Amino acid sequence: MSHGDGDHERFAHYVQKDKIMASAVDGTPVVALCGKVWVPGRDPKKYPVCPMCKEIFESMGTGGDKDKGGKDGGKK
């Protein structure tokens, strides 16, 4: 029986870098570009990038929020 939320559990997600740091310090959940909310705890390098996060990030272009783009593992 799975208690995860499907494909989100198998990807590294794009999250604002300052939010990742805050989460590491105080354990608050982060919100990925795709909308996934979780407390990071896995090495994002072990997972492929979430296609939805990647598409959103790329659509932001060079004028987007440059703080967005930090990755963190999306698997609990």
CA dist list (Å): 40 to 17, 25, 26, 61: 12, 11, 11, 26
b/e for 52-74, b at 16 or more Cβ within 10 A?
Answer: bbbebbeeeeeeeeeebebbbbb
User: Phi/psi at 31 (nearest 5 deg)?
Assistant: -120, 120
What predicted TM-score, i.e. pTM, was given to this entire model?
0.66
Confidence of residue 68 (pLDDT cuts 50, 70, 90): very low
Segment 2-53, tens digit of pLDDT: 344 454 568 999 999 999 999 989 999 999 999 999 999 888 999 999 999 9
**pLDDT at position 73, please?**
53
Confidence of residue 67 (pLDDT cuts 50, 70, 90): very low
